[in-house]
């Protein structure tokens, strides 16, 4: 639900800003994941209709962290990929075929972009391009 | 005429606000202090949304809840408790997580396996775990399995089955090894062996035929493993690997993730990755705009030392 996406984003921004002010450091992705999980579960009976994905670099050695959650905050931790949305089933298919571990950032960008475009081409409700965020230690 | 228009608009605006949620819930939403427990501010809105979708015949694409289809089992043997679980989490008819962890920590001597709605089982385990932590701090004694059972029972009964979590709590305390199974509506049984979840029927058949009192650890682990495997292969809601947790009377706990991996696809996948067609050539995606910013700023901060009394 688009309004829930915006509401959840604003409330999470509040939480991360408060954390940053109190602890003088950024929230780690795994901590953020737990916080989001509790936040969504607090509305167990009357949930926000969002399916969030969390991605980030964790710790001093910048280990990649990804997780996906359902609308109640139950997390799925994987080391390959997580998908969500109306073209979830199509994305499962494309990602399972194209994903390889230990790709370079540029290769990963190409792979994920093509997976996305191929999947949303088969879905009327999603499409018209996409936005890719690549997180690397340098930039 | 102008005044009339303003009056009408104001009334409908007020009615919309009233329909969204009763006053005391709206006030709770505006309350800046965070409160514990469940937050019901969106319940009325969600009910209204779902009724509207149904009335208009729109098949809504609202997100599905992730269930842990599941086979979990537990059994008491001579010197402790063995808990077993499969590792598949489903969302609708597709697998959401191929390797999820269903046996969770409650106390150093108590572990709990959960079936039902994934969010509910994880949060119930977290809840009882933190409550037992506080109890241990205030009483200074080891947690008892029956305490975990009672706390979970009372919490689940309070919510009248709406928290859909079926749990198997097993552990060892000063009175010996214990195993309880707890149903979503709040009933529980103290049992020597049990299974829960959609694959419970497949698993209980294996356990009923092989169980005998006072088994050795090897026999108990073998029985739990076979029960979970029968659930994995005969039930669609369970699959992937089998996790085993052994809690011994000596206090030692062994948690094995992936004790048996009958569905390991790694070998197959490594063979498939070879064709060149599956490598996306660089430059195949048209980039409309890109921006780069440096966001990580690493600072070494020494952790403050805890105060010594």
8 A C-beta contact, residue B116 and residue B164: yes
Cα separation of B33 and B192, whole Å? 46
Cα separation of B42 and B288, whole Å? 38
Residue B25 sits at the chain A interface (C-beta within 8 Å): no
Cα separation of B83 and B197, whole Å? 14
The residue ranking higher by pLDDT, B99 or B130, is B130
Element (DSSP H or E) covering residue B250: none
Asked if the Cβ–Cβ distance from B282 to A113 is below 8 Å, we say no
Query: How would residue B295 be classed by pLDDT, with cut points 50, 70 and 90?
Result: low
For the four alpha carbons of B112, B183, B126 and A8, in that order, the dihedral sign comes to positive
In chain A, what residues touch B273 (CB-CB under 8 Å)? 100
In chain A, the residue whose alpha carbon lies closest to the alpha carbon of B303 is A23
Asked if the Cβ–Cβ distance from B281 to A1 is below 8 Å, we say no
Residue B25: DSSP 8-state? H
pLDDT digits (tens, 9 = 90+) for B132-173: 999 999 999 999 999 999 999 999 999 999 999 999 999 999
In chain A, what residues touch B280 (CB-CB under 8 Å)? 98, 107, 110-111, 114
Cα separation of A77 and A63, whole Å? 14
Residue B99 confidence (pLDDT) = 86
Exposed/middle/buried for residue A33 (C-beta within 10 Å: 0-12, 13-18, 19+): buried
- Nearest beta carbon to residue A51 from set B63, B100, B295: B63
Q: Distance from B244 to chain A by nearest Cα, in Å?
A: 19
Asked if the Cβ–Cβ distance from A47 to B91 is below 8 Å, we say no
- Nearest beta carbon to residue A45 from set B38, B280, B294: B38
Query: Which of A44, A57, A116 is the mutation pick for testing B, counting most B CBs within 10 A?
Result: A44
In chain A, the residue whose alpha carbon lies closest to the alpha carbon of B270 is A100
Residue A6 confidence (pLDDT) = 92
Among A93-97, B49-53, B73-77, B200-204, name the one with the lowest average pLDDT: B49-53
What percent of chain B has a predicted confidence (pLDDT) above 90?
A: 48
Q: In angstroms, what CA-CA distances link A40 with A7, A72, A94, B123?
A: 12, 5, 29, 11
Asked if the Cβ–Cβ distance from A113 to B285 is below 8 Å, we say yes
3-state secondary structure chain A: CHHHHHHHHHHHHHHHHHHHHHHCCCCCHHHHHHHHHHHHHHCCCCCCCCCCEEEEEECCCCEEEEEEECCCCCEEEECCCCCCCCCHHHHHHHHHHHCCCCCCHHHHHHHHHHHHHHHHCCCCCCCCCCCCCCCCCCC
Annotation marks residue B70 as catalytic: yes
With a cut of 60, say whether residue B272 has pLDDT above it.
yes
Residue B274 confidence (pLDDT) = 59
- The closest of B174, B165, B170 to B107, measured between CA atoms, is B170
Query: How would residue B6 be classed by pLDDT, with cut points 50, 70 and 90?
Result: very low
Query: Which of A4, A22, A28, A46 is the mutation pick for testing B, counting most B CBs within 10 A?
Result: A46
Question: To 10 degrees, the CA torsion angle through A84, A86, A92, A98?
Answer: -90
Residue B278: DSSP 8-state? G
pLDDT digits (tens, 9 = 90+) for B231-253: 999 988 888 889 999 999 998 89
In chain B, the residue whose alpha carbon lies closest to the alpha carbon of A79 is B99
Query: How would residue B9 be classed by pLDDT, with cut points 50, 70 and 90?
Result: very low
Residue B163: DSSP 8-state? S
Asked if the Cβ–Cβ distance from A70 to B118 is below 8 Å, we say yes
Residue A138 confidence (pLDDT) = 75
Residue B38: DSSP 8-state? -
Residue B16 sits at the chain A interface (C-beta within 8 Å): no
User: How many CB atoms within 10 Å of residue B81?
Assistant: 31
Query: How would residue B25 be classed by pLDDT, with cut points 50, 70 and 90?
Result: low
Q: Radius of gyration of chain A from Cα atoms?
A: 16
Residues contacting B135, CB < 8 A, separation 6+ = B143, B147
Mean pLDDT of chain B: 83
Cα separation of A59 and A25, whole Å? 12
Q: pLDDT tens digits, chain A, 139 residues: what are they?
A: 788 899 999 999 999 999 999 988 888 999 999 999 999 998 888 888 898 999 998 877 888 999 999 889 899 898 888 988 888 888 888 888 888 888 888 888 888 888 888 888 888 888 777 888 888 877 6
Residue B52 confidence (pLDDT) = 80
Which one of B8, B12, B70, B175 is the catalytic residue?
Answer: B70
Q: In angstroms, what CA-CA distances link B21 with A45, A64, B41, B90?
A: 14, 41, 7, 33
- Which stretches of chain B are DSSP H helices? 2-20, 23-30, 43-56, 118-139, 145-158, 200-210, 217-234, 266-272
8 A C-beta contact, residue B226 and residue B244: no
Asked if the Cβ–Cβ distance from B41 to A46 is below 8 Å, we say yes
Among B33-42, B120-129, B140-149, B246-255, name the one with the lowest average pLDDT: B33-42
Residue B42: DSSP 8-state? T
Listed by number, the residues of chain B in 159-188 with a beta carbon closer than 8 Å to a beta carbon of chain A are 162-163
For B265, what's the count of Cα atoms within 13 Å in the CB-facing half-sphere? 8
Residue B35 sits at the chain A interface (C-beta within 8 Å): no
Most confident stretch, A84-98, B5-19, B51-65, B128-142: B128-142
Among B24-33, B56-65, B154-163, B233-242, name the one with the lowest average pLDDT: B24-33
Exposed/middle/buried for residue B198 (C-beta within 10 Å: 0-12, 13-18, 19+): buried
Residue B103 confidence (pLDDT) = 93
In chain A, the residue whose alpha carbon lies closest to the alpha carbon of B265 is A96
Residue B261 sits at the chain A interface (C-beta within 8 Å): no
- Nearest beta carbon to residue A76 from set B38, B97, B120: B97
Instruction: Give the long-range contacts of residues A126-130, CB within 8 A, separation 24 or more.
Output: A126/A85, A126/A86, A126/A87, A129/B288
Question: To 10 degrees, the CA torsion angle through A108, A114, A119, A120?
Answer: 110
């Amino acid at each position: 639900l688009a309004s829930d996406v915006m509401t959840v984003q604003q409330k999470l921004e509040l939480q991360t800003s408060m954390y940053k002010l109190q602890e003088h450091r950024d929230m780690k992705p795994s901590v953020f994941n737990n916080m989001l999980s509790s936040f969504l579960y607090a509305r167990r009976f009357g949930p926000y209709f969002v399916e969030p994905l969390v991605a980030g670099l964790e710790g001093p050695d910048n280990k990649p962290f990804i997780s996906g959650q359902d609308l109640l905050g139950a997390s799925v931790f994987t080391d390959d990929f997580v998908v969500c949305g109306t073209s979830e089933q199509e994305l499962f298919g494309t990602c399972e075929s194209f994903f390889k571990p230990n790709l370079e950032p540029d290769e990963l960008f190409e792979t994920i972009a093509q997976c996305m475009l191929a999947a949303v081409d088969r879905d009327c409700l999603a499409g018209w391009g996409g936005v890719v965020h690549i997180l690397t230690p340098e930039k | 005429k102008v005044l009339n228009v303003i009056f009408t608009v104001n009334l409908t605006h007020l009615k919309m606000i009233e329909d969204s949620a009763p006053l005391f819930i709206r006030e709770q939403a505006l309350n800046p202090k965070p409160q514990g427990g469940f937050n019901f501010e969106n319940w009325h809105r969600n009910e209204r949304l779902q009724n509207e979708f149904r009335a208009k015949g729109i098949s809504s694409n609202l997100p599905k809840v992730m269930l842990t289809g599941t086979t979990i089992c537990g059994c008491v043997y001579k010197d402790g408790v063995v808990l077993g679980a499969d590792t598949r989490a489903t969302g609708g008819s597709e697998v959401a997580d191929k390797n999820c962890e269903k046996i969770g920590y409650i106390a150093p001597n108590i572990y709990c396996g959960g079936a039902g709605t994934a969010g509910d089982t994880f949060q119930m385990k977290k809840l009882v775990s933190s409550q037992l932590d506080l109890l241990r701090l205030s009483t200074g004694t080891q947690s008892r399995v029956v305490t975990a059972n009672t706390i979970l029972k009372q919490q689940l009964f309070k919510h009248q089955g709406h928290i859909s979590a079926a749990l198997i709590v097993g552990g060892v305390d000063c009175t010996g090894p214990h195993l309880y199974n707890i149903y979503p509506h709040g009933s529980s049984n103290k049992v020597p062996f049990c299974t829960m979840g959609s694959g419970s029927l497949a698993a209980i058949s294996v356990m009923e035929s092989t169980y005998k009192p006072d088994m050795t650890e090897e026999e108990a682990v073998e029985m739990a493993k076979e029960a979970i495997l029968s659930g994995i292969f005969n039930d669609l809601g369970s699959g992937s690997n089998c996790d085993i947790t052994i809690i011994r009377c000596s206090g030692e706990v062994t948690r094995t993730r992936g004790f048996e991996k009958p569905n390991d696809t790694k070998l197959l996948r490594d063979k498939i990755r070879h064709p060149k067609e599956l490598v996306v050539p660089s430059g195949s995606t048209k980039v409309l705009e890109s921006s780069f910013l440096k966001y990580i700023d690493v600072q070494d901060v020494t952790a403050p030392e805890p105060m010594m009394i």
